[in-house]
Structure 1
Amino acid sequence: MLGKMAEKLKEIIDAWRDYPLQPGEIWEDRYRIDRLLGMGSYGQAYACTDLSTSSVVLLKRNKPSKGSTGIELLRRESDLMRSLEHPQIPGWLNYGVRRRDEALIMQYIEGHNLEFGIYEHGMTYKATEGLAVLKALMGPLSYLHAQGYVHRDVRIPNVMQQDGKLFLIDLGLACRIGERLPSKLQKALGEADGSDASGSASAIKRRMRNPLPSSDWFGLGHLFLFLMYAGYEHPEGQPERSWEEELSLQSDVQLFISKLLHDESAWETTEQCQQELNELLTRLELAEEPGM
């Protein structure tokens, strides 16, 4: 009984500590909070106005209830972003400390993510359109891998659309290729040995969190399936089947996606993966031309 009361009290205190910053509040005499964009396990994201430039920026604040772990994750993300410069990855702008709160300031991408487009706008994709999304993401991923990093969270919520251009966002789980995170961070992120040991969702998470480029290939393959299933209607009364059976994909498309999902040694580099995708799209486009 006392244990449950203590747990409830902790929840109340944590909720109070993590209460969102309010519109109009000024961070470090420079950034005016405009609105809360979202809240994750360890951070909160806000659209802000930089009063020194009048531009809109994104402010990512650690969750105070997560203590030093939330701050460490935010500092890692800041250090990584500061070393990157790619037109499809939000740019690093600043990092600030205010008492026990810290914040990463970055470029704000106006638009919506693929998840919002699918579930709120009802967007659907043909196979060639889904592959075109993968092609657009190959650029930032190839760059990221060439810099020695892996994203580890290539999913539809982390792909933003702005005026027809795609951006790869949220590098909060990114790490150096081959890096083994400190045990404290592994435990916090559910990556410690034995964590989430069963279930299909856990298997997907483990594959995506490996500190290798193939994890991002896997993420691309999984993302493609999300795009394809956005327009799929399961026949009523029929048992679920594998994606290979349910989706009407051409054999060479199916083979490429299978390699993304199942073959960690399919390519030596992401550039090779990108080249194979480009060749696949060229063949599909030629096949669609009149008279072909």
Structure 2
Amino acid sequence: MWGKVAVRFKEIIDAWRDYPLQSGYIWQGSYRVERLLGMGSYGQAYVCTNLSTGGIVLLKRNKPSKGSTGIELLRRESDLMRSLEHPQIPSWLDYSVRRRDEALIMPYIEGYNLEHMIYEQQLAYTAVEALSILQSLLRPLAYLHEQGYVHRDVRIPNVMQQPEKLFLIDLGLACRIGEQLPPKLQAALGEADGTNTEGSAFAIKRRMRTPLPSSDWFGLGHLFLFLMYAGYKHPEGQQEQSWEEELHLQPVVRDFVSKLLNDESAWETTEQCRQELDELLAALKAAEKPEM
């Protein structure tokens, strides 16, 4: 009984510590909170106004109840972002410490992510449109890999769409290529050996968290399938089949996506992957043009 009471008491304390900052709160005299954008396992994200410039920024704060682990993850993300400079990756602006709370500041990217486009706006995509999204994402990914890092979380919530370009966001899980995270971080992120090792969801997660460029290729392949299934209606009464059977894709498209999802590395570099996709899309678009 007392054990249950202690657990419940801890839950109440943690909830109080993690209570979101309210609209109008001034962080360290520099940033005014406008609204809570979202909350994850180890952090909270806020839309803020930079009081010095008037610009809108995103403030990512460690979740206080997660203690040093949340801070360590946030510092890792800050150090990585500070070393990068690419037009499709949010830039590092500032890092601020407030007693036991710390915050990473970056530009706020206006727009909607692909998850919103699929589930809220109910958009459907053609194979060429979906491949064009992959083509755009391969630019920041090729750059990231060239700098020696892997994203490890290429998913529809982490792709922001604007009229002119796409952004690859949330580098919270990124690491150096080949890096083995400390045991504490592996356990915190559910990546330790023996952690919930059953089920297809874990198999997908494990593939995406491998510290190699191929994990980001796999993420792209999985993202492509999400886009294609957005407009798919399963025939009533028909047994569920593999994506190769359910999606009516041209053989060249199916082969390319299979390479992304394959356990074996189909390319030596992400630039080679990008070049192959460029050639594939050029051929597909040429075939779509009506004859004069």
Q: Deviations over 1:196-216 (max 9, x none)?
A: 211000000000000000000
1:286 offset after TM fit, Å? 1.1
Amino acid at match of 1:233: K
Name the residue aligned to 2:203: 203
Identity of aligned residues (%): 77
- Distance across 1 between alignment mates of 2:65 and 2:165: 36
Amino acid at match of 2:234: H
Deviates more, 1:163-172 or 1:65-74: 163-172
1:256 offset after TM fit, Å? 0.3
Amino acid at match of 2:79: D
Deviates more, 1:2-11 or 1:18-27: 2-11
Amino acid at match of 1:12: I
In the alignment, structure 1 residue 94 sits paired with structure 2 residue 60? no
- Distance across 2 between alignment mates of 1:263 and 1:178: 16
Name the residue aligned to 2:66: 66
Amino acid at match of 1:269: T
1:170 offset after TM fit, Å? 0.1
- Listed as ranges, the matches of 1:26-37 within 5 Å are 26-37=26-37
- Distance across 1 between alignment mates of 2:286 and 2:87: 29
- Distance across 1 between alignment mates of 2:41 and 2:163: 29
Amino acid at match of 2:135: K
Structure 2: runs of 5 or more not aligned: none
1:263 offset after TM fit, Å? 4.0
Local SS of the residue matching 2:45: strand
- Listed as ranges, the matches of 1:181-192 within 5 Å are 181-192=181-192
Name the residue aligned to 1:142: 142
Structure 1 segments (4+ residues) deviating >6 Å: none
1:291 offset after TM fit, Å? 2.5
Amino acid at match of 1:72: E
- Distance across 1 between alignment mates of 2:54 and 2:273: 41
Q: Deviations over 1:22-53 (max 9, x none)?
A: 00000010100000000000000000000000
In the alignment, structure 1 residue 79 sits paired with structure 2 residue 79? yes
Q: Deviations over 1:172-209 (max 9, x none)?
A: 00000000000000000000111121100000000000
Local SS of the residue matching 1:128: helix
Local SS of the residue matching 1:92: coil
- Distance across 2 between alignment mates of 1:262 and 1:196: 23
- Distance across 2 between alignment mates of 1:27 and 1:147: 32
Amino acid at match of 1:47: V
Local SS of the residue matching 2:134: helix
Amino acid at match of 1:135: Q
- Distance across 1 between alignment mates of 2:113 and 2:195: 29
Amino acid at match of 2:98: R
Name the residue aligned to 1:115: 115
Amino acid at match of 1:126: T
In the alignment, structure 1 residue 258 sits paired with structure 2 residue 258? yes
- Listed as ranges, the matches of 1:227-242 within 5 Å are 227-242=227-242
- Distance across 2 between alignment mates of 1:84 and 1:196: 34
- Distance across 1 between alignment mates of 2:95 and 2:191: 27
Amino acid at match of 1:267: W
Amino acid at match of 2:278: N
Q: Give the TM-score normalised by the residue count of structure 2.
A: 0.99
1:273 offset after TM fit, Å? 0.3
- Distance across 1 between alignment mates of 2:120 and 2:213: 31
Name the residue aligned to 2:224: 224
Q: Deviations over 1:49-71 (max 9, x none)?
A: 00000000000000000000000
Q: Please provide the CA RMSD for this pair.
A: 0.9
1:11 offset after TM fit, Å? 1.1
1:236 offset after TM fit, Å? 1.3
- Distance across 2 between alignment mates of 1:58 and 1:243: 37
Local SS of the residue matching 2:235: coil
Amino acid at match of 2:134: L
- Distance across 1 between alignment mates of 2:45 and 2:237: 42
Local SS of the residue matching 2:238: coil
Q: Give the TM-score normalised by the residue count of structure 1.
A: 0.99
Amino acid at match of 2:68: S
In the alignment, structure 1 residue 4 sits paired with structure 2 residue 4? yes
- Distance across 2 between alignment mates of 1:74 and 1:243: 37
1:162 offset after TM fit, Å? 1.6
Amino acid at match of 1:128: V
- Distance across 2 between alignment mates of 1:40 and 1:165: 26
Amino acid at match of 2:108: Y
Structure 1: runs of 5 or more not aligned: none
Equivalenced residues, count:
292
